[in-house]
A and B are shown apart, each in its own frame.
Chain A
Amino acid sequence: EVQLVESGGGLVKPGGSLKLSCVLSGFTFSDVWMGWVRQAPGMGLEWVGRIKRKIDGGTTDYGAAVKGRFTISRDDSKNTLYLQMNSLKTEDTGMYYCTTDSGGRTVITALDSWGQGTLVTVSS
């Protein structure tokens, strides 16, 4: 069974930084594309970005709202995905979900497994 467990959320001041982690089990981490989706309180889902597996180049893509401030990385030796968040704004507040992305495994990609989320609050 695939399991994703996020950690690292918390309270941070505007302009600050935070690094989220996500550990994958039940699947070979190096075989999967990974990503992040966030959800502001009471709102819908927003795609943050993704990272491909190394055999597909290991490249990253981001949503416009976070591009240049957030960085997605992976450590295949630790089965861990990261989200480094810099220059945080109050509008970055929300639940951050780690996901697997079926890219590289299916032609039409989807976010096929989700973690339980970690809450990030940006407030002074």
Chain B
Amino acid sequence: DIQMTQSPSSLSASVGDRVTITCRASQSISIYLNWYQQKPGKAPKLLIQAASNLQSGVPSRFSGSGSGTDFTLTISSLQPEDFATYYCQQSYTLPRTFGLGTKLEIK
């Protein structure tokens, strides 16, 4: 199985900060990488598909990049509603696997 490693596991930041979350795959997955956001008590929501394609309705302050084994999710200017847990997931092969998540907290 492909292992997905996210860093950091948690992050404290302030409104207005620029934040970057990293996801590394245990083998090359091209751009078969998706990002999800999960708020407490809620279902996850797809943010970015295929490494950099923002889903409809997702604010442009979110962006994704990378290919191969290394990927990043960047939030250019944190807003209060962005404090959540973020997961990466590979769709290169079966079984689909997720990173352990990055919890973004208010400083």
Chain B: number of interface residues, binned into ranges = 20 to 34
A111 at the interface (CB under 8 A from B): yes
> Interface on chain B toward A: helix, strand, loop, or mixed SS?
loop
Chain A: number of interface residues, binned into ranges = 20 to 34
With a CB–CB cut-off of 8 A, which chain B residues contact A61?
A: 94-95
| Given A106-B49, A112-B49, A46:B43 Cβ within 8 A | no
B98 CB contact (under 8 Å) in A44, A64, A106: A44
With a CB–CB cut-off of 8 A, which chain B residues contact A110?
A: 34, 46, 49-50, 89, 91
With a CB–CB cut-off of 8 A, which chain B residues contact A106?
A: 49-50
With a CB–CB cut-off of 8 A, which chain A residues contact B32?
A: 108
**Are the CB atoms of A111 and B89 closer together than 8 Å?**
yes
A45 at the interface (CB under 8 A from B): yes
Chain B residues with a Cβ under 8 A of chain A: 1, 31-32, 34, 36, 38, 42-46, 49-50, 55, 87, 89, 91, 94-101
